[in-house]
Amino acid sequence: MHAIGHEIKRRNPSARVLYASCEHFTNDFIQAVRAGHAKEFKDRYRNLDLLLIDDIQFITGKEGTQEEFFHTFNTLHQSNKQIVISSDRPPKAIAALEKRLLSRLEWGMLVDVGAPDLETRIAILQIKCQSRGVDLTRDILHYIASHIASNVRELEGALNKIIAYHQFKNIDPSLETVIPIIDGFDLNTIKKTVSPKHIIQTVAEYFDIEIGDILGKSREKRLAFPRQIIMFLLREEMKISYPSIGQELGGRDHTTAMHAYTKISGNLKEDEQLKRDMDLIKQKMYSG
């Protein structure tokens, strides 16, 4: 997101560009309303050539913020200005999103930004190190980038942990001291700590639904699909028996768990959206 803003400014130094996370936009809005500075808030976010909003999925459930962002979006769009929005899921998968705002988010071009390749991850680490005044050898950068491949945030998290550790110990980073730290991010290590409760909670949070509803008897589609994903993950990630999976999900029959596993397994072979959802859920499971 920052790179987009920098490129626009490079091409047009006079361009009015503003980057804000969804959380920052929300906090700005709340503070402006409380202080009676609504006009100043609108001027700041609407008199732009480019507005970049990061992590729009966090707008879910915030009715006032959604209302304000809807009007901000309309104002910029009607003025032929540019808006770039990022999310960890497609608009349709953002729960509790007003329909009119959902339609706005789907107006533009949707681009799935995959995980960066190895060389890009190394380049990202080099830039982060330069900004922090930290000098890591190429071998260290390569080791980090080779083991943290899912997303940039985990890459930054690993780098932050390495920097903090060596500052605390007052020693220079070496491959020998970095390897044990990075191994802590290895999914094979983290998987040992995953529990059925954690999987259920992660999926419930991802789809913005209550755990009680998942464990309940309702067969609504909005509940049935996340329930099937949980059953699949319990089987795939923890190797739990089908009868035990049924018990974890409110005492359901083992054949229900078998059907869910078979269905999700089959759909994963051809459903790109499901693949992305599953990857994001696993990232949350193993980073939480």
Residues of the chain with CATH 1.10.1750.10: 191-287
Per-residue model confidence (pLDDT) at position 193: 54
Which pLDDT score is estimated for 288? 54
Give the pTM.
0.52
How much is the pLDDT for 201? 93
Backbone angles phi, psi at 31, to 5 degrees: -65, -40
Confidence at residue 189, expressed as pLDDT on a 0 to 100 scale: 42
191-287 sits in which CATH class?
mainly alpha
Q: How many CA atoms lie within 13 A of 129 on its CB side?
A: 19
- Write down the pLDDT at residue 14: 96
pLDDT (0 to 100) of residue 249: 94
CA distances from 102 to 45, 85, 94, 227 (A): 20, 12, 9, 24
What does the pLDDT read at residue 246?
Answer: 93
Instruction: Give the strands of the sheet with 82-85, arranged side by side.
Output: 17-21, 50-54, 82-85
pLDDT of the residue at 180: 87
DSSP state of 29: H
Separation of alpha carbons 194 and 211, rounded Å: 17
Positions of CATH 1.10.8.60 in the chain:
118-185
For the chain (288 residues), the mean pLDDT of every run of 10, in chain order, is 90 96 93 95 97 91 93 96 90 84 90 79 91 91 86 83 88 91 60 77 92 92 94 88 91 93 90 85 73
Superfamily assignment of 2-105 in CATH?
Answer: P-loop containing nucleotide triphosphate hydrolases (3.40.50.300)
C-alpha span between 50 and 253 (Å, rounded): 53
Q: Which letter, b or e, does each residue of 237-249 get, where b requires 16 or more Cβ atoms within 10 Å of its Cβ?
A: bbebebeebbebb
- Cite the residue boundaries of each domain of the chain with CATH code 3.40.50.300: 2-105
Output the pLDDT for position 190. 45
Residue 88: phi and psi, rounded to 5, are -90, 5
* Fold designation for 118-185: Helicase, Ruva Protein; domain 3 (1.10.8)
| pLDDT for position 86 | 92
